[in-house]
Amino acid sequence: MKKFLLIVICIIPIFLSGCFALPVEEEVLPPPVANMPEARPIRTTPVVREDVLHFTNVRAGHLPARQETVHFGVAGQRVRGVFVSAGDMVSEGDILAELDRPYLFNQLADAQRDEEQIILERSQLETRHQTALNHAAETGIPVDDSSFTDERRRINDRLTIVRRRLEYLQQEIDRLYVRAPFDGIVIWALEVTGVMWSYLGQEVVTISDQTRNIFVITGPAAEASPPGTLLNVVIDDETFLVESIVLEDEDLPDRPPTTLPEAFLLIIEGNPPVITSLTVAIVHVVLDASYNVLAVPNLAINTLEGRSFVYVMEDDIVVIRDVVIGLEGNTLTEIISGLSEGEVIVL
């Protein structure tokens, strides 16, 4: 009996653990509910009479009376600084930048002291010579001028050498400076960061003579802007009125020839800001136009195998209508036939 009870006690845990190991049936989720999107309303617009414009906005280049970029004249020297920035007004001869060669100034000071000393020696010689001549006149004893002549020659030779050295040192010092070649406006300047060394041909500052406000455009926009055309140019978000003018060759110095059509635009209203290398001037040019014509938005026109058509609302039904189009503008298309003013089309 005891053995039977022991066997039952051992079997019961095994039986219970087997029950818990049986697979559990997964819960069945309800099917998802689909929400149908609401239908988008049809976008329509009436056929109207408008001006259809084919235009372009082109970047215009500034054409200064004169423009020049100045360079450092000495290579391998530390740049002491560039003292101007874009937009600064400068006068001819103003120092724009400088190289650092301090020993030249020490040598110049030494040479100047040598010149002063030699000039003093010559003055003292002339005083002694004059004293000797006065003494000779009083005593009747002639003076030997040869010693004075020889000493004067030696002094003059030394003075010539020192002055040549002074001239050389001054030229070397002048080469350290970059000066404005004429009155104008700085449109670009070299930015000096950290220690910078010069090299020959290194561009330092660009000066522009902006005594005249003329811009130039090229290509189709220029062909559409014959002399006398009035246009708008936008500079720094400000609009100015310009007129296309004729410029002679003498008004265009140092400009390379071009085969592209050009139009020169003179600002006739307003005072524009300083034109720098970062300034953007945009000219609005109408290339073609049809005025007071039937027109629809460009996106309403459909084209398939040379056939142009639109979708028209007729009694709340959308139908296809063939159309003959004219000028395709930037936003509108001219309708020559196929639609009437006031009809409603689908976009």
Whether the Cβ atoms of residue 145 and residue 171 lie closer than 8 Å to each other: no
Residues 200 and 326 in one domain: no
Residues 134 and 73 in one domain: no
Whether the Cβ atoms of residue 232 and residue 284 lie closer than 8 Å to each other: yes
Whether the Cβ atoms of residue 65 and residue 211 lie closer than 8 Å to each other: yes
| C-beta neighbour count of 95 within 10 angstroms | 14
CA angle 283, 285, 286 (to 5 degrees): 160
- 23 found inside a domain: no
- 31 found inside a domain: no
Residues 237 and 272 in one domain: yes
- Tell me the pTM: 0.62
Q: For the chain, what is the domain count? A: 4
In the predicted model, is pLDDT for residue 251 greater than 80? Answer: no
Question: What number is the average pLDDT over the span 298-327?
Answer: 93
Q: Which of 92, 55, 97 has its CA nearest to residue 80?
A: 97
pLDDT of residue 62: 87
Length in residues, the chain: 347
Tell me the C-alpha distance between 179 and 68, whole Å.
Answer: 12
Residues 95 and 162 in one domain: no
Each residue of 192-223: pLDDT tens digit?
A: 888 899 988 889 999 999 888 889 999 999 99
Question: What number is the average pLDDT over the span 267-290?
Answer: 87
* Of 272, 287, 302, the domain-final residue: 287
Domain range for residue 157? Answer: 102-175
Whether the Cβ atoms of residue 269 and residue 241 lie closer than 8 Å to each other: yes
In the predicted model, is pLDDT for residue 318 greater than 60? Answer: yes
- 77 found inside a domain: yes
